[in-house]
Amino acid sequence: QYPPLKRAHKVQICPKRCVCQVLNPNLATLCDKKGLLFVPPNIDRHTVEMRLGDNFVTSIKRKDFANMTKLVDLTLSRNTIGTIAPHAFKDLENLRALHLDSNRLTRITNDTFSGMSKLHHLILNNNQLTHIHIGAFNDLTALEELDLSYNNLESAPWVAIQRMSNLHTLNLDHNMLSYIPEGTFSGLQKLKRLDVTSNKLQKLPPDPIFQRAGVLATSGIMGPSSFALSFGGNPLRCNCELLWLRRLRREDDLETCASPQHLAGRYFWTVSEEEFLCEPPLITRHSQELQALEGQSVTLRCKARGDPDPIIHWIAPDGRLMSNSSRAMVHTDGTLDILISTVKDSGSFTCVASNPAGEAQQTVDLVITKLPHITNNTVSEQEPDPGSSDIATIMLNQENQNRMSVLSCRPMGR
Ligand SMILES: *[C@@H]1O[C@H](CO)[C@@H](O)[C@H](O)[C@H]1NC(C)=O
Ligand SMILES: *[C@@H]1O[C@H](CO)[C@@H](O)[C@H](O)[C@H]1NC(C)=O
Ligand SMILES: *[C@@H]1O[C@H](CO)[C@@H](O)[C@H](O)[C@H]1NC(C)=O
Ligand SMILES: *[C@@H]1O[C@H](CO)[C@@H](O)[C@H](O)[C@H]1NC(C)=O
């Protein structure tokens, strides 16, 4: 039935204790459960399938898989791998599946999986991952399955995940994710299974992909158009931001609301749509009129409540939105620090509190008193341009003045 074995490549090397099979004509090197402490150096470089599961390998070195361009399937599950040298998988240009589950990895860097553009399955569950560099998955554009479950991740490389258009399974469950950016799943048209169970999510980003299959089934048979979404075990905030999710038709399940307080503990699917409410912002405290001398720092305060928590912006007297700069600092708690005030800052600042339910505003009046400019007789008085509110310009003026004083003090001639 099988064509006669081609003997173009004869198996000559097989690491001690391992089993090497020529599977017509592919070569498999099988080293599961051999008590290995490191990757054996003498693996046949023509190996197509390499199994090293259930050993005691602690690190992957650059040379371990060098030149193994034919490798398609690599299993390193259930070892004690804590470090992977940069570019250790660089030569594996045909690798389709990489199993690294149940190891001791704590971080993935940009150069761990760079160039692995043919990888379809990346299995990293049950490690101790706390950090994945933002660019670590940039080359993994062919990925169909990504398993990051049972780690300690507070974030994931969302932008790279967004571009994995072939992804059908994404397991992010049992991590510490508290936020998933909107749009993360929009391009994942082939996604069949998304598991975000047991994280710290208060909400999920609304996405048309969740509507695609109509009925969401969490278990049982997967129809051709069904989509399995699991999100139980999260501290869901059942307000207007989750109404879209409540509106999906779905088999009843056991997700519960954690907040707001009056809904805490209720089953998500038994809370009526009318109860998914937000509260528009209300400004509870803010600075009254403030006075300062030119050059001093001033702090403007504004506090608001609402559901969800409002975001606070400040608008300057000239109508511009305040943002962090060398001159001002906008803090997330609603405080605006003007580090060095100028006369031009005088006027009404507006504190704007907003959330999906609405907006609220208050003004804070600021009066900056101009300083008298004392003249030193060596330098003729130069009024600083009152129109300049730019700290850089002011410092430059001061510097120029200093330099001018220095110049004028220097003895003339010899
Ligand atoms: C990989 O190939 C290069 C060039 O042929 C050779 O110098 C090197 O020793 C090889 N490394 C291994 C681990 O086989
Ligand atoms: C990783 O790559 C991204 C770009 O893809 C870059 O922004 C980031 O700084 C890199 N991180 C490190 C630690 O090199
Ligand atoms: C401005 O800087 C402060 C302090 O570094 C930071 O807490 C805040 O988030 C920044 N604000 C914005 C809008 O980036
Ligand atoms: C004027 O000069 C004196 C001494 O030369 C110096 O101490 C003082 O700071 C100067 N004042 C101004 C406003 O530059």
pLDDT band at 215 (very low <50, low <70, confident <90, very high): very low
pLDDT band at 375 (very low <50, low <70, confident <90, very high): low
pLDDT at 402 (0 to 100): 41
402 CA from centroid of ligand 4 (Å):
10
376 CA from centroid of ligand 4 (Å):
6
pTM of the prediction?
0.79
Domains of the chain by range and CATH? 280-369 (2.60.40.10)
Q: How far is Cα 331 from Cα 312, in angstroms, rounded to an integer?
A: 9
Q: Whose CA is nearest to atom 7 of ligand 1?
A: 67
Q: Whose CA is nearest to atom 3 of ligand 4?
A: 376
pLDDT band at 412 (very low <50, low <70, confident <90, very high): very low
Tell me which of 326, 329, 336, 339 to substitute to probe ligand 3's pocket, judged by most ligand atoms within 8 Å of the beta carbon: 329
**Which range has the worst mean pLDDT, 162-166, 215-219, 285-289?**
215-219
pLDDT at 248 (0 to 100): 83
50 CA from centroid of ligand 1 (Å):
18
- CA quadruple 376, 378, 384, 390: dihedral, nearest 10: -100
Q: Is 67 in the pocket of ligand 1 (CB under 6 A)?
A: yes
Q: How far is Cα 22 from Cα 26, in angstroms, rounded to an integer?
A: 6
pLDDT exceeds cutoff 80 at 57? yes
pLDDT at 123 (0 to 100): 98
pLDDT at 336 (0 to 100): 94
- Short-list 200, 210, 202, CA closest to 244: 210
pLDDT band at 153 (very low <50, low <70, confident <90, very high): very high
pLDDT at 209 (0 to 100): 84
- Short-list 243, 245, 268, 272, CA closest to 258: 268
Q: Which atom of ligand 2 lies nearest, measured to the CA of 138?
A: 5
Q: Whose CA is nearest to atom 1 of ligand 4?
A: 376
143 CA from centroid of ligand 1 (Å):
28
Q: Whose CA is nearest to atom 3 of ligand 1?
A: 67
Residue 70, C-beta contacts closer than 8 angstroms, at least 6 positions apart: 27, 45, 46, 47, 48, 94
pLDDT band at 370 (very low <50, low <70, confident <90, very high): confident
- Tell me the pLDDT of the chain averaged across its residues: 86
Q: Whose CA is nearest to atom 6 of ligand 1?
A: 67
pLDDT band at 351 (very low <50, low <70, confident <90, very high): very high
Burial label, 243 (beta-carbon count in 10 A; 0-12, 13-18, 19+): middle
Q: Whose CA is nearest to atom 14 of ligand 3?
A: 324
Tell me which of 67, 87, 90, 91 to substitute to probe ligand 1's pocket, judged by most ligand atoms within 8 Å of the beta carbon: 67
Segment 267-290 shows an average pLDDT of 93
What single string gives the DSSP state of each residue in 179-238?
A: ---TTTTTT-TT--EEE--SS--S-----THHHHTSSB-SSS---TT-BEEE--SS-EE-
pLDDT at 372 (0 to 100): 78
Q: Is 66 in the pocket of ligand 1 (CB under 6 A)?
A: yes
Q: Is 133 in the pocket of ligand 2 (CB under 6 A)?
A: yes
User: Of the bound ligands, which one is closest to the alpha carbon of residue 405?
Assistant: 4
